[in-house]
Amino acid sequence: MNTAKLRSKRVLVTTAAVAALAVGGGVWATAAAADTDVPGADRDRVGAAAVRAVGGGEVLDVESSDDQGEAYEVEVRKPDGAEVDVVLGKDLEPIGQQTATDGSPVTDAQRASAGKAALDAVAGGTVVDVEAGDEQGVAYEVDVRAADDTEWDVRLDEAFKVLGKNADD
């Protein structure tokens, strides 16, 4: 499973429809990638299976896997804020899971502060995602969509100072 690939492809719809799931009391937030290859109904079914596998949470991204023996890669944010990449087989059986960040959940307050700092760096943008950083010295990684639909990765330190930003391809 390629965690970097999952992060680079992740694009959340700015207005997500939220519905309660009966299974595991989790929450499913409909997320759609601009170039997704998993259509709506399948996306919902696959996402629900991944949420069940981790015991609840919110689906961030669903993709078909190109790795042998794997059918889907799903990114889930658990209720504690930790993000998990779940790999499912063709029958939606869990094959594996891996913590997507360094394991440190991002609190709501940290998410808000990181989002504000990133928006100051990308004026007129919209925060798409905030994660704990996985590089030396990077505390937070924020994905921002600019008004012109350019995707930006903004890296912040623990004091929410911008360390750098770059446009995604």
Contacts (Cβ under 8 Å, ≥6 apart) of 36: 43, 62, 63
Contacts (Cβ under 8 Å, ≥6 apart) of 154: 117, 118, 121, 122, 141, 142, 143, 144, 162, 164, 165
- Looking at residue 123, the DSSP 8-state letter turns out to be T
Q: Are the C-beta atoms of residues 133 and 161 closer than 8 Å to each other?
A: no
pLDDT, tens digit, 9 for 90 and up, residues 74-118: 989 888 777 888 999 999 999 988 775 455 678 888 999 999 999
**Assigned CATH topology for domain 3-99:** SHC Adaptor Protein (3.30.505)
Q: Are the C-beta atoms of residues 87 and 97 closer than 8 Å to each other?
A: yes
pLDDT, tens digit, 9 for 90 and up, residues 112-145: 999 999 999 998 899 998 988 877 788 899 999 9
Instruction: Write the single-letter amino acid at 108.
Output: D
Matching CATH topology for 3-99 and 108-167? yes
**Assigned CATH topology for domain 108-167:** SHC Adaptor Protein (3.30.505)
pLDDT, tens digit, 9 for 90 and up, residues 17-39: 233 333 333 333 333 333 357 88
Count how many Cα atoms sit within 13 Å of the Cα of residue 71 in the half-sphere of its side chain: 16
pTM, whole model, 2 decimals?
A: 0.45
pLDDT band at 51 (very low <50, low <70, confident <90, very high): very high
What residue spans define the domains of the chain? 3-99, 108-167
Q: Are the C-beta atoms of residues 165 and 153 closer than 8 Å to each other?
A: yes
Listed in sequence order, the DSSP H helices in the chain are 3-9, 40-54, 108-121
Separation CA 139–CA 160 (nearest Å): 8
